[in-house]
Amino acid sequence: MLCWACTWRLPHRSLGLSRTSFSTVSVALSSSSSGQGGAESRPVRLSYKLLDGDAVRPALVLLHGLFGSKTNLNSVAKTLAQQTGRRDLSPGSPPATCRPSRPLAVYTQNLDASVVTVHPTPQVLTVDARNHGDSFYSPDMSYEAMSQDLQDFLPQLGLVPCVLIGHSMGGKTAMLLALQRAELVERLIVEDISPVDSKFGLEYLTYIAAMRAVDIPDKVPHSHARKLADEQLSHVVQDIAVRQFLLTNLVEADGRFVWRPNLDALAQHMEKLVAFPPRQESYPGPTLFLFGENSHFIHSSHHPEIRRLFPQAQVQTIPNAGHWIHASHLQDFVAAIRDFLV
C-alpha cells in the first residue's frame, strides 16, 4: 500500500530555519498531511509516518516531546506494532485469520496445529508537532494550537478514535486533546508529565541559547559538524545524553548546517509550554500515566490534579527510569502499554 510523504528543502540563514518549498513523493507507509499552513492559530501541515495495521482497531498515535521528532520514536513505533497485537477476549469471538498483507502482526498456532491464526496489530502513527521535525512552522506554539492540529489531522487519516500516547510536551498535547474532544481518544497514555506547571522553562531557554550560538563552517562533513556542535554545546549542556538528543535536530541544507526546530517560536512560547492550560472538564476514558522513578518532572503533589482531570487514571512508575522512559527502558515501556491495552 502506498501513502504519501512530504519532504522540505530548507534554505537557511546561519542556524535559523525557514520553510520555503516542499515536494511530495510516493513512498510506502509514510505521509504528510494537507492543512492550512502559516496563519497563526490555524492548523499547519504535519509530517508523519504510518505503520500499516488493522484499520478496524484503534490506531496508536505517538506524540514526541520538546525538541523531539517522529524519528526519535521509530523504535518505539516498531516495537509497539510488533508487540501490541492482542486477542479479542469478548465471548464467542473467533481469532482473525492470517492475512499475508499484514506483515506486522502477532501470530499464534492453534492447539490442533492445523491452523495458523493472526491477531492483527493496530496502525501506529508517529507525527512531528508544529515547529518540529519536518512539519510546518507557525508563530503560534500553544497547546491549544497543537491540539487543534491533531483535531483536524487525525480524522483526515481516519484514525479516530485512537489510543493517544504522548511524551512530555506531547503528553500535555495529548491530555488537552482528550479533555477537549474525548470522542476522538479511545484511551490515553501519558509519559512522564502531568497536567500542572513545570519548573524547567529556564533550563530549556538555556538550551535554545546554546543551540543558537553554535557556529559551524559551511560544507564540512556531517560527522565533523556534529562533533563541533557537541563541543560547543558542552559548555552549557553538560549532560551528554541531552546533547545527543539535541543533536538529532542538526541537519544539512544547501551545504549549511541548521537546527530543524523553530527555535524562535519555542523561545517565545516557553512560558506556555512549561505550563498546562487550565481546564474544568474531565476525560472519562481509560488513562495510564507512566512515570520514571528518577524523573524530576513528576511529584506526588501532582496526583490530585491528575485524579481530578482523569478520574479513570492508573499511575505506574518505571523503576530506575528518568524522563525518557521510552528510550532508556523500551521493553518496560512497551510492556506497560501492552498490559494497559489488553
CA–chain centroid gap for 61, Å, is: 8
Q: Which of 52, 264, 328, 332 is catalytic?
A: 264
| Helix ranges, the chain (H) | 74-83, 143-156, 169-180, 201-213, 222-233, 240-247, 263-268, 270-273, 303-309, 325-328, 330-341
Quickly count: other Cβ atoms within 10 Å of residue 159's Cβ: 22
DSSP H or E segment with residue 30: strand 30-32
Q: Helix, strand, or coil here: 186?
A: strand
Taking Cα atoms as reference points, which of 261, 229, 258, 253 lies closest to residue 69? 261
Q: Which of 132, 323, 326, 329 is catalytic?
A: 323
Half-sphere exposure of 296 (CA within 13 A, CB side): 4
Taking Cα atoms as reference points, which of 154, 138, 145, 151 lies closest to residue 48? 154
Is 323 part of the annotated catalytic residue set?
Answer: yes
Backbone angles phi, psi at 137, to 5 degrees: -80, 155
Taking Cα atoms as reference points, which of 283, 120, 305 lies closest to residue 187? 283
Q: Which of 168, 194, 198, 295 is catalytic?
A: 168
Positions marked catalytic: 168, 264, 323
